[in-house]
Structure formats: C-alpha cells, structure tokens
Amino acid sequence: MSSSLLTFSGHQFLRQRLVLSILSGKHVKIDRIRPEDKNPGLREYEISLLRLLERVTNGTVIEISVTGTALLLRPGVISGGLVVHDCPPSRSIGYFLEPIIMLAPFSKKPLNLTLTGITTDEDDLSVDLLRTVTLPHLQPFGISDGLELRIKKRGAPPGGGGEVQFLCPIVKQVKTLNFVDPGKIKRIRGISHAVRVNPQFSNRMIEAARSILNRYIPDIYLYSDVYKGEESGKSPGYALSLLAESTTGAIHCAEAISQAGVAPEDIGLRATRALLSEINRGGCVDRRHQTLVLLMMVLGSEDVGRCRMSEPTEKTIQFLRDVRSFFGTSFKVVPVDSSNPECTQLLYSCYGTGYINANRTLA
Amino acid sequence: MDDRPHKAHRPAQSGAKAGKKDKAKGKERQQGFNAKAFAPKSGRRADRQGRRAVERDQTRLHVPLVNRTPDENPPPVIIAIAGPPGVGKTTLLKSLVRRFTKQTLNDPKGPITVVSGKKRRLTFIECNNDLNSMIDIGKVADLVLLMIDGSFGFEMETFEFLNILQSHGFPKVIGILSHLDLIKKAATLKATKKALKKRFWTEIYQGAKLFYLSGVINGRYPDTEILNLTRFISVMKFRPLIFRNSHPYILADRLEDLTPRELVRTSKGKCDRTVTVYGYVRGTNLRLGTKVHIPGVGDLDMTSVQKLGDPCPLPDEASEKRRKLSEKKKLLIHAPMSDVGGVIYDKDAVWINVPGSFSRGNEEVPQGEGEQMVMDLQDVATTLEDAVSKSQIRLFGSSSNPLAVAAQSLPGEDTDDEQEEEDSDDESGFEDDEDLHSAEEDEEGFDFDHLPPGAENTGRRSHRVVQRTLPSSSRQSRADIEYAESDSDLGDNDDDLPSTSNRRVRFAGEDDDDIEIPSDDDALDDEEGEDEDVPQWKKNLAERAQSLASSSRKGKRKDWIKLIYASDLTPAEVLHGKAEGDKEEDVDDFFTIKHKSDVGEVEALDKGKEPIDDVELEKWQDEELLESIRGLFITGEDSGAAGGDNDGEWDGVGDGDGQGSGSEGEGEGDEDGGLPAEQTTKDAKTLQAKKERLKRKFDEQYDDPESRKDDFYDSAKDEIARQLALNHAEFEGVESEARALVEGFCPGAYVRIELSNVPCELVEHFDPHYPIIVGGLLAAEERFGYVQVRVKRHRWFTRPLKTNDPLVFSLGWRRFQTVPIYSLDDHSIRMRMLKYTPEHMHCYATFYGPVSLPNTGFCTFNSLLGDTPGFRVSATGVVLDVDRSVKIVKKLKLTGVPYKIFKNTAFIKDMFTSALEIAKFEGANIKTVSGIRGQVKKALPKPDGAFRATFEDKILKSDLVFLRAWYSIEPRKFYNPVTSLLLSIKTSWTGMRLTGQVRRDEGLKTPLNVNSTYKKVERSARKFNPLRVPQKLQASLPYASKPKLMTKQRSQTYLQKRAVVMEPEEREAVALLQQMRALRKDKVVKRKEKKEGKKEERRKKLERDDARREEKDKDKKKDVMRMVGMKHKREQETEEGRGSRKRRKP
C-alpha cells in the first residue's frame, strides 16, 4: 500500500512542498526543475536542504534523477534530536531554518539543531527576525516553552561563518488560532548589528531609525549588537531589523542589509520605511509569516481557526493551493470589513485537519 | 398459637397514606431537603463534612472533552445487541423495534434506525457470535445491550466481548438477563440474579445497570419490561470516546454495486467493483480526500461523497403539523437491509418496494395512487420535450405569438424522462424534484422544499432517474429566468459580469449594507461553480479573473477564494493581474501553461522575504503620510478611519480578553464607517460604551472577587463551548455544498459514499448479518511503519505469547495479522528481545503494520475461529511509539577457550574464525566463567581466529571465555489484513499458521538438528592435586594454620588387641544380663505380632465399609441421572411445542 503520490513541476515553492509532504506523509514528485537552464537541475543549496531534511527525519527516501531535474520524496517520520548542519554559502541560514521551524514541533524528540553559514542576507529572513518575529508567531499555537534560537556567531555574506542553535519543543497538537483583532502598535524593538566594521555604524542606523519612529510612540528600544573577534564571522556587514508589536501581540517586521556604497543612515531609513509600510498594510500577521501561520491553522484541531491578514503574497497563494492538494483543506478568504472599500485586509478561516503528532513517543 | 408475637405495624413512610396520617395529626410534613437535620454537631465534623462534600464534587468531574457530535440533528445512537446465540437477541430487537415503530419485523437484518424522541434516533444492530463482528461492533456501538442467559450464566463470548469493548474505549453497557422464566424456584431465581449481578458489576463497574426479562409472550418480551428499557435508553447520556471523537465513521445501512453490468459479465464477476455505501456520518466531519478503512475488507479510496436527504428525519415543528391522522400510527423506520418501509432513496433514483406479485396490466390487484402514477408515466409515448414544443403558451392574453421553444431546452422546462442528463443545470421547480431538495436549505422558500422525505413516504409518485441538481445554479436560473437567453448562458458563466456591474453601480451611490449580500452570494456561487465539473466555466475564467484583478486596482475587491482555488492563474498573475500580451491565449489551456512556465521563472529564487521596493518607500518621505498612520499606534487618537479597535488604550488593562472581544470590536467597526456628520453622536456613543464596560468590570471585581478566577474545569468547558459556537457560526450562511467542501460532512448527515476498486467478493458474499463499517483514517494512519506497543498477556489466556508467532491485532479500525517481537527495557540502555511474554507483567512488543496514533488501545487474538477452546483475547495494550526503524537486540554469547596462558595474558581460540572479525571486536570486554574480566587485544597471525587477550588475573586453561554481544533484530515486514467480509463463510478466516501447525497439517516431521539433541552430559570427576605448603612457609606458620600431617591410625592398638578373662561372679552377672535381654526380645516380638493381627482386622473392616458405601453412591447417582434425563426429555418436548427456540447445549 503506497500513500498517494502528488506531482509538481518547477523549482519554485520547493520548500513548502517538501514540508507539506513530510507533514502529510504523502509522497511527492517534483519534475522539470530548471530543465532549460544553463545549469539544469537542483542547486547546491537545495541539495543541502534535502540533506538536512533527511537528517531530521527517519526513513525518508529522496531520489534525485540523474540530471537533477526531477525529485521524488518519500517522507519518513520526523525524528528531531541533535542535528548539526553546514549551510552552503549560496543561501543564508534563514532558507534552511524556515521549513525546519514548520516541522520541528511535530518531531519525535525535541529538536536541537545547529546551523552554520550566513546569518543575514538579502533573500531570506535573518536570524534576528527569525528569533524575534517568527518564533513569537508560534506562540498562539501553544508552541512556546523551550522554543529558542541562539545566535552564537554572526556571519555576513559572502563569507558566512555564523552559527545558530535552534531548540524546539514538541507538541501533541497545535491550538486553534482565533486572531482577528490586530490591535494597535504598542512597542517597537529593533536589533542593529555590525560585524567586522566600525561599531559606530550600528548606532548611526539606530539614530536614523529613531528620527522617524520617535514621533509615534515612546516605547522604542533599538539594540546595538556588535560582535567581535571569533563570533563575528568571516565577512564585514551590518543590518537593521525592526519589529513593531501591537497590543494583541501582532508583530510586523522589516529589515535592511548593508550595501556597498550606501551610508548606514540610509540603511536605517530604509528599514524604518519598510516597517511603516508593513504596519500600514495591517493585519494580525506579518506578511512573510503568512504561510507559517496558515500551515499551523490547517494543522490545528478540528475547529474553525480564523486569522486576519493582509493580502496574500505569491508564496501564500501557491501555498494555499498546495495545502489543498496535500491536506484537502481550503480556506475561506473574505474581506474583513466589507463596508470599507479601502480596507485590503482579509479574514482567512479554515477548518483544521485535527493533525495529531503521531511521531510523539508515549512514556 | 395465640402467644406467638404479631408482626409490628410499620407505618408508611412515603406516599399518599403517610401524608394523610400526618395531616390528621395536625403536623405538616416538611417537603424536600431538611437542612437542619443534617447540620453538623461540631466544628470538626463540619470541617470533615465540608471536605467530603468537596471531594465528592471533584469525583463528579471528568476531563473536559470536546464533543464533535452536533447538538441539533445528531446521528442516531448505535445500540448493539450482543450475546451468545440463543439468548434472545433477535427477540429483543423485534420487541424494541415494535415498541418504537409499531411494526413487527420478521427477519431483522442489518442496522435498523428508528426515531425515539424529539431529539434522538436509535440505530439497532444485532451482533452475531462471530469474533470479527464483535470487534467491529465494539468499535462503533454507543450503547451495548449485553444479553446474558440467566438460566445458564455468563459465557466465554460475553467476557471476550467485554474485553474487546474495554480495549477500544468502553461504550456504555446495559446488561440484560433473559431466560429467567426457566428458573422455577423463587429462591434460586433470587440467588441467580444476585450472583450474576455481582459478577457483572465487577466486570463493568459497581452499580452498572442490569435488566431482567422474564419471558416471551407472542414472540416478544413483555411490553412493560421493554418500555422500561426504552425509557432508560432514551435518556441515556454518552460521553465522547477519544478514538471516535477524532475519526469519522459510518455504520453502513445499505450497500449498492454500481459496477457496469457488462463489465461484471465480461470479467465473470471477478472485476473490482464500484460500490456505494450509505449511512449517517458519526464521529468527526467526514472529508473527501482521505482514505477509509472497512474492517474486513481493507483500505479504500472515496471517489465521491454526497449528502442525501435524511431517510429517517427527526420530527420538527412543520412535519408534526403536517402529519396526517392516517399517518399518525406509522412511525418512521429505516432498515434497508431488512426490507421494511418500502421506499428507498438514492442519489438518482427512488425505489419502491411493492409487496406481493406485481405486474403491469394486472387489473385485479388494487393499485395505489403512487403505482398508478408510475404506470401513467411509463405509458407516455412522447418525451416531455416534444410535448412542450407542441404546446402553445401565451405569456399574456394579448400576445399574438405563442412562446416558441428554441432548439435547446428552456430553463423553464424539466423532464421526468430518464435519458435527460443535461437538465442538471436548470431546474425550474417541478414538483417532482422536491425529494431531492428536501435536505437542503433553500432560501427561496418554495413550500415543497421543506417537506421532509418522511412525509412523502406514502405517496410516491414517480420512479425515475433524476440528476441531483446543484442548488446554487438552480437558484441562479430561477432568479433570472429570461426566456430569450439560451440554457448555456444561464449557467454560472454569466453570473459574474452582470453582478459585478451591479456592484459597481451600487458602490457609487447606495448604502453600504446592500453590497455585502450579493457579493458574498456570488463568491459562494462561484465556488460551487467550480466543484460542478462544467467545462464551460473554464473557458474565459482567466479573462474574468483578469478583469476582476484589473478592476480591483481601481478599488474593487477581488474574489480571493475563487482566484486562489478556482483559477489556473499563477500566483503572480493573481496578485498583479495578467500581462496584456497573454490575453489572447485564453483559447487553449495547453499553450498558456507552457508560456507561463518560462516567463521569468528562471532567475526567481525561493525567497523568504521579498526585496524592498525602494520606489514604494519613497512615499514615506511625505510628512502627511507619516502622520496619517498615527492612528495605528496606541498613542494615536481613535480616528474613525482607523476603525476596528475602540478599546485600544484599555488593552493594557484587559490584555487577556483582547482576543475574545475581537469579534465585538469588529462589529463595532462596521458601524464606524458612517458619515462624518454623525461623528459627534458616535463619539458620545463610544464614550458611553466605554464607561459602561468599565463600570461592569468594576462591579464584577467589587461584588465578587472570587468569580473572577474561574477554576480550570469551568474555563476549559467555556473555552470548548466558545470554540464550538465559533465553528457553528463561521460557515453558517454558506451553502451546504460549498460548506461540505470546506468543512466536510458533519456528523448527523446521511451520506452516500462511492468507493472504487472494491474487491468483488464483498458484493458477492455480502451478508447483512455482518456489519459494514466505514472508518475514516487520519493522514498518519495511512502509512506503514514499526509500531511499538505496551502489551500484557490476558490473564485468562492460558499460554504465554511467543516472539515471531503471528498474532491478530484489533487496532484502530483495523484487524490484521502481524508478527510481533516482544522486548523489555534493559536498564534504559537497550531494548532486549524476549522469547516469551512475561507472566503478570507488561512488556513491549514491536511489529510492522499500519501506523496508529500513540495512546490507541488494542487487543490481540491468536485465533479468531469460533471453535477455539478457551479465552480468545490473548493480550491487550496500548500504542506507544511509531517509527521507521527499531532498536531491539538479543543477546549473543561467543565462547572461546584459552590455548596458551601467560601471566595476565592469554591466547584464545575458537571464538572467531578470521582476523577480520577480531578487528571488529578489538577492545571488547570478555569474561571467564569464574568471573575474571578481560579485553580483546589483537588477532594472532597463526591459528585463524585466535587472538590475544588480557585479563585482570591469570586465567586457567580450563576456563571458558565469553564475549557478550548484542545482535539487533527487526520484526518481519508481515501485514495481513483480516479480510473476513470477503469470505463466503465469514467465520472461517485463517491467517498465517504457526510452523508447527503447518507441519501438522502437511504431515511433515520436525527437522532434527543433530547438535540440538539432548545427550547425556559426561563429566569426569575432577582430580585436585593435594595442597603442598612449602617447607619454609610451614615452618613460619602458627600452629593452628600448620597443615595437620598426622594420618589416621590404621593398625590395631593394644586396647583392641588384648584378651579379657572374667571372674566367676562377673561371668554370672554377664550371663544374667544376657538372659534378661533375650526375654525382653521375645516379648517385643510377641507384642508386634499381636498388633499386626489387629491391624489386619481393622483393614478388612474398612474394606467392607467402603464397598457398602460405594454401592450406595452408585444407586444415588443412578437416581439423579434418571431425573436429569427425564427433565431433558420434558424440556425437549416443550421446546418442540413452543417452536423455533434453539438452545445451544451448555
């Protein structure tokens, strides 16, 4: 008896499909991975991700075709435990950690994962945001005790050399989310870090950010986080990540990374403006964490979960479609405020699948 | 006679008489609880009483569990009637059915559903004596009526059934003692009842309900006793069981084979079948896309699920009003397998069962209205289409042209004809369709739509095939019936364009509330349009989506559900609208996909965050914009535009209820969008509301500070209730079809499940006496893996269980045979294999099979056959862990012998065969029999397999050297589902046999390994050399420790050798003594002889007595046997007289 096989094509949305496959136990076949590219097939970092997934699971079979343009995943059980993985320098740690965060609560043993590589880059969420924004997003689902991301070393691109440790507890079942009140922003926090550059850079970013934000609320703390010596990785770099938390616990975030030839003040302003536009977009969930929250809603108990969010991103749209093919769950997506045409926020509601962590060991 | 004391008068304590007496005496009896009477006498006692009350209160509480079964319209309660054969199960079933429906069934088969009250329906099912049926029914029954033969007592099956129930989450059990009329003596009856009750209580719980059925009258149990029983049943409450509360399931009350007859014929009935099963959904919501398991058949895929009209609906106000007098006596019963009721509904047909021989044209048989109508319909020569085209309808009296019928059928026409397939789209409300709509809520409110099918049971007018229509499309067509348009246009193709334009118009002018309703409706309509597989909607869907998307940029809202789920646009196109160039390619789907796939996909990365759009950020340099979002912060004033949250600044106080009040806040937000003119009044209103809220909070805290902190139990219950209410409310307004897509079919719905690739044997060997259960599987349960369970052999099972012996598990929905390996945790270091299960102790077992969630209970059987002697439940346990690999080890001892011994080093041989093996074990711990520990060092070059080892002391040449190793083993990947329902004789399922059984059956001898034979152990006596203490050491030892070198005297000493010469007086004395001794000896011998004689006499006497007694006993036994024989004969005679009561020989 084989579980049903799902077929996808294209290299896009690879991570979410792998995650959904492992969670649902459905086999997945992904073909036409960059067939017409100069360098066809899976990239180095994708192979590395597959390795990582193989390591955190037990009994997973991954078959990659000779050309590397097709992939068959037969998922095993998520085992967790102590895992160490080196991320290639082509992608940052965020790329690898995002799918792991989705899987880790459902493993057999609490996960203790050490990842080394680039901690902050342009493409993926930096470890700061993962720590301060992504992990709090799991809290309403009952995943909080022992959930931790320790940044041991920082590593800026291209050299990398950072190291983080991710600790995640296991749950039996995630709680149902009912989060429709975005509240009002009550505090703003931020981390500005600088490695292998003048430590003043981080203070300059903070000042620039404060020049805009100070007008709104007094509760603003922007930490200057300068790593030195061994802990600062192999390359120079600096960045500012900001987050705004509302009275009901909704978090919005933004960050900007150092660029060659751009003053730190401009980076600070950029991050701040991005945060403001993020706040302006509204909703209870940050845009980059829509998929995470939606996934946990699908995996909730057999009750109606509701969440208010801004308009879906491309990733989210495809995610909703993929969720339907893996779990058979479709969402009801309606405008929050039908009387106000200006309001672009949407109310996502779904009926949870009642997913129970079958990997969990009893006694 | 007279002096005998009379029985004292005992005045009535209760009832009418007691009150009379009191009233006569002029004192009023106190009504109800007399608090004074139970007032504590001392403080200490009060304390104790208080504590006891609290403790008792706590015992009442149970862990709060969510009950997934809805309160309104719940599925019927499954009541299983179980017991050994001949105990009266069928009689009880008939009596119960008769009690509820006033119908007498001749041969009840399968589940029988009846309505028992305003809010409760019951499904009765009889459980036969097959163990498979007992297992299956034990998993679904809500209440078990356990029948026990009072005249015989408990039987093995009863206990087996109870154990099965126990391991699958004990449903409620009511014991019923029958055949009590066979016990003649009142005293015996009382004693029997008491004994059985005691045993029953130990088995279930103290105080479990036990009913007594005295005898059979007219083939039924006495009406009063049945009435009492039904009263009990109808008020019974059920606590949700965890397994059933997390799985959907159906007890199939009907099974139809949909396979094309031709296919069956060509394959000689051997092809896989397509089968539909019908039943009420129970447990949780049944969703498409999941697999189901039918115990006894296997895992199957659901092709489709449809909700049908309830065949046995609960009475509602409307139906009660409409019930005619003639129908009053006819109560509802749904038992398709038993052929009662006469009418069977299907998705596309209604079948009428006409009793007796019925043939067309048979005029003698009186025909009812329904039959007449069917025959009339069959008589119609022309199709309705023709009839309509011929008919001339004038819309108005003055119109000159009669309404012409276009080539395609009008929306306003519907046919009863069987060939009509396409009419599923347009349904204009012919009355004949009413049965199809009865289950659905129709907002339009045609009268007949609300008729429950039960009300139509009597007068069926048609026998036909009608496609089930989608209510959405039908409503659409009803709403805009316009004769000029063709049918295809009237589908949901066009519903978007006019409605969107409508909306736009309204946006410009009218009030806001009106917009919501149509837009919402459209959203739903469109979603339904998608499930109905009409190819047409696809054609210009992209175009419409595009138009929608582009319009959204002008402030129009997108229909997200449709864009996400129903379109084949890529996510980017959904968000940003389609590029203009793509537009003309809508014609062919093939090319569009191809084209899209290579548009800018190559360089796109799977990014965690989108790049910051610097152009977008430019606008934030604008001060005005910066100011405009001030309202989003807690310091900002509560502007109307910000909307949503009114109690922002108070959230610091009431952070906890922030989420709960979210919906209220939203509701208020809706009102906020009013005109600025109303601003002031609104502000006042909000202020008022805020004050009110604060006041309430203050009052609450001031009046009763205790009430603030709810205890865990109450808060958990509140939480559950709130969530259930939310579940209910969220999809309230949604059309049932769309709702089924989102949340599945909720418990209580009567559904038809189509299953494909069903083994043909299920249909061919179908027997309604064996239950068919369709159990939904969770995603995890479809997988296979190694399951670790904690297991304990049942104490009534006589033999221990052996590792690698096949065992039948009943776990989850499944019954399967697999090969477990037993193990125990060895100091938390390793799982050590056990050959046999331990006595009176839990152990672990690991087997390969379908995954079940941890904490699922199970029971196992060595054999399911009915003729197995003894207790069949061999073990029970619970699932602990699920994995893809196992870590069970068994001990492996390697032995070797030393062939050369140095000081602490020895050369050991015969443990390994090659240097390679030794290399693997370098550094391993070894040990001699005498307990000297050592280590493997290195292989020796010369004899193959010899190695050097060091020990903590010098070992002996005669020592054996052990190496203790652990060899890991895996359970065999053997999974064999018990496919009992596929057999023609359902009870004869045999799985894999034991090796010994196979040998016995095949007549093979057990192969004999020469090395395994038992031989006499030859142990030569060991010779130990004498201990030699060196001379020097001896000299220095203290005397006590010195070896004693003196040997035993061997030559005779003087004392022994000397001759004795006695004196004369001495000699006399000795002679005298000798004589006395001789006399005494003689005396003793004589006494002994005498005693022997007496003993002999006594033995003879005893023998005589025994013989006499034996004879007496024989006579007595003869008498008893004669009596028994006569009684048996009498019984048989009465039985023959009474009819078909089968008694099994006890």
Specify the range with the lowest mean pLDDT, choosing from B574-578, B872-876, B937-941. B574-578
Is the pLDDT assigned to residue B429 strictly greater than 50? no
Q: Do B662 and A248 touch (CB under 8 A)?
A: yes
Would you say residue B478 has pLDDT above 60? no
| Top-confidence range, B330-339, B618-627, B695-704, B843-852 | B843-852
Phi, psi of B751 (to 5 degrees): -125, 160
Number of Cβ pairs < 8 A linking chain A and chain B: 277
A303, A176 in Cβ contact below 8 A? yes
- What is the tens place of the pLDDT at every residue in B258-277? 999 999 999 998 999 999 99
| B630 inside domain | no
- Kindly tell me the burial class for residue A30, based on how many C-beta atoms sit within 10 Å of its own C-beta (0-12, 13-18, 19 or more): buried
Q: What is the CATH number of the domain that holds A107?
A: 3.65.10.20
How many structural domains comprise chain A?
4
State how far the Cα of B838 lies from the Cα of B834, in Å rounded to an integer.
8
| Residue-by-residue DSSP string for B822-869 | EEEEETTTEEEEESBPPTTSEEEEEEEEE---TT-EEEEES---TT--
Decide if A109 is inside a domain.
yes
Cis upstream peptide for A218 (omega within 30°): no
Q: What is the pLDDT of residue B647?
A: 39
Residues of chain A with Cβ-Cβ distance to B742 below 8 Å are: 329-330, 332, 350-351
Task: Mark which of A280, A303, A328 sits at the end of a domain.
Answer: A280
Query: Is A152 domain-assigned?
Result: yes
| Confidence band of B358 (pLDDT split at 50, 70, 90) | low
Domain end residue (candidates: A46, A76, A106): A76
> Does residue B579 lie in a domain region?
yes
- Find which of B99-103, B392-396, B424-428, B515-519 is predicted with most confidence, using mean pLDDT: B99-103
Q: Does A360 fall in a domain?
A: no
Q: Which residues of B are less than 8 Å from A95 in CB distance?
A: 606, 608
**Three-class DSSP category at B581:** helix
What is the pLDDT, as a whole number, of residue B30? 59
pLDDT value of position B1048: 81
> Measured on CA atoms in the order B19, B21, B23, B28, is the torsion positive or negative?
negative
Q: B483, B481, B488, B477: which is closest to B404 by C-alpha? A: B483
Q: Does the pLDDT of residue B365 top 60, yes or no?
A: no
The answer to whether the CB atoms of A331 and B883 lie below 8 A apart is: no
Q: Quote the CA–CA distance of B815 and B820 in Å, as a whole number.
A: 14
Q: Is residue B486 part of a domain?
A: yes
A216 Cα to chain B: minimum distance (Å): 6
Is there a single domain that holds both residue A165 and residue A198? Answer: no
Q: Where is average pLDDT lowest: B700-704, B745-749, B1023-1027?
A: B700-704
Q: Is the pLDDT of residue B411 over 90?
A: no
Contact B566, B541 (CB under 8 A): yes
pLDDT at A331 over 80: yes
The pLDDT of residue B1135: 82
pLDDT grade for B470, boundaries at 50, 70 and 90 = very low
Which residues 733-772 on chain B approach chain A with CB closer than 8 angstroms? 734, 741-744
In this prediction, the answer to ipTM > 0.95 reads no
Residue A211 is encoded by which pair of tokens?
């020049």
- Distance, CA of B698 to CA of B565 (rounded, Å): 49
pLDDT at B1055: 86
Residue of A nearest to B882 (CA): A359
B720 CB within 8 Å of a chain A CB: no
Determine if residue A118 is left, alpha or beta; phi over 0 gives left, psi from -120 to 50 gives alpha, anything else beta.
Answer: beta
Q: Which of A80-89, B582-591, B616-625 has the lowest mean pLDDT?
A: B582-591
Q: What is the pLDDT of residue B699?
A: 78
User: How sure is the predictor about B603, in pLDDT bands with cuts at 50, 70 and 90?
Assistant: low
Query: Model confidence over A306-322: pLDDT tens digits?
Result: 999 998 998 999 999 99
Residues of the domain holding A234: 185-280
Q: Which residue has the higher pLDDT, A297 or B571?
A: A297
Cβ neighbours for B262, distance < 8 A, ≥ 6 positions apart: none
Residue B447 has pLDDT above 70, yes or no: no
Q: What is the structure's pLDDT at B519?
A: 39
Average pLDDT, chain B: 78
Neighbours of B715 (CB within 10 A): 12
Helices (H), B267-393: 317-322, 369-379, 384-390
Answer yes or no: are the C-beta atoms of B909 and B961 closer than 8 Å: no
Residue A204 has pLDDT above 90, yes or no: yes
> CA angle at residue A359 from A357 to A362, to 5 degrees?
95
Note whether B512 contacts A: Cβ–Cβ < 8 A.
Answer: yes
Q: Between A134 and B626, whose confidence is greater?
A: A134
- Identify from A317, A325, A342 which residue to disrupt to test chain B contact, counting B C-beta atoms within 10 A and taking the largest count: A317
User: From the CA atom positions of chain B, what is the Rg in Å?
Assistant: 45
- Give buried/exposed letters for B144-172 (b at 16+ CB in 10 A, else e): bbbbbbbbbebbebbbbbbbbbbbbbbbb
Q: Which of B571, B659, B853 sits opposite A248 (nearest CB)?
A: B659
Residue B230: name the closest of B340, B97, B90, B82 by CA.
Answer: B97
SS3 state of residue B283? strand
- Answer yes or no: is pLDDT of B170 > 70: yes
Average of per-residue pLDDT values in chain A: 92
Dist. CA A206–CA A272, nearest whole Å: 10
A31, part of any domain = yes
Report the pLDDT value the prediction gives residue B1056, as an integer from 0 to 100.
Answer: 86
- Out of B564, B610, B612, name the one closest to residue A333 (CB): B564
Hey, what amino acid is at B847? F
Closest CA to A239 of A276, A197, A281: A197
| β-sheet bridge partners, residue B951 | B934
Q: For the residues A273-283, what does the mean pLDDT come to?
A: 90
In B, residues 142-201, which contact A (CB 8 Å cutoff)?
none
Question: Is residue B276, in this structure, part of any structural domain at all?
Answer: no
Q: Kindly determine whether residue B614 and residue A270, on different chains, have CB atoms separated by under 8 Å.
A: yes
Percent composition of chain A: helix, strand, coil (DSSP 3-state, to 5): 30, 30, 40
pLDDT category at A252 given cuts 50, 70, 90 is: very high
Question: What's the helix, strand, coil split of chain B in %, to 5?
Answer: 40, 20, 40
pLDDT for the residue B417: 40
Amino acid at the residue B1106? D
A45 shares its domain with A91: no
Q: Which residues contact B132 (CB under 8 A, 6 or more apart)?
A: B295, B296, B770, B815, B864, B978, B980, B981, B986, B987, B989
Residue B1130 token pair: 């009498």
pLDDT of residue B1139: 54
For chain A, say whether B515 makes contact (Cβ under 8 Å).
yes
**What sign does the dihedral B441-B442-B443-B446 (CA atoms) show?**
negative
pLDDT value for B1049? 83
Residues of B in contact with A125 (CB under 8 A): 608-609
Any domain includes A359: no
Smallest CA–CA separation between B304 and chain A, in Å? 14
Mean per-residue pLDDT for B895-924? 94
Look up residue A11 and give its two tokens.
Answer: 């290299």
State the Cα–Cα distance between residues B1123 and B1120, nearest whole angstrom.
5
> What is the average pLDDT across B828-844?
94
CA distance A163 to chain B (A): 19
Q: Where in the sequence is the domain holding B451, given as residue range(s)?
A: 384-503+517-594
- Could you give the residue ranges of the DSSP H alpha helices within B1003-1063? 1031-1036, 1054-1057
B410 within a domain of the structure (yes/no): yes
Q: Number of structural domains, chain B?
A: 1
B775, β-bridge pairs: B249, B293
At residue B811 the predicted structure's pLDDT band, cuts being 50, 70 and 90, is very high
Beta bridge partners of B841: none
**Is A288 exposed, middle or buried (CB count within 10 Å of its CB: 0-12, 13-18, 19+)?**
buried
pLDDT at B389: 66
Asked which of A106-120, B307-321, B632-646 is least confident by mean pLDDT, the reply is B632-646
Q: How many CB atoms lie within 10 A of CB B307?
A: 21
Query: Which residues between 66 and 105 in chain B have a beta carbon less than 8 angstroms from any beta carbon of chain A?
Result: 66, 68
pLDDT at residue B449 greater than cutoff 80: no
Amino acid identity for residue B491 in this structure: G
Domain boundary among A108, A140, A171: A171
Mean pLDDT of B179-201: 93
pLDDT higher than threshold 80 for residue B203: yes
Range with the poorest average pLDDT among A180-189, A253-262, B588-597: B588-597
Which two three-digit tokens encode residue B887?
């870590």
The pLDDT score that the predictor gives to residue B493 is 39
Q: What are phi and psi of B1080, to 5 degrees?
A: -60, -40
Between B71 and A251, name the one with better pLDDT. A251
Q: Is the pLDDT confidence value at B483 over 60?
A: no
- Chain B residues with beta carbon closer than 8 angstroms to that of A12: 601, 604, 606
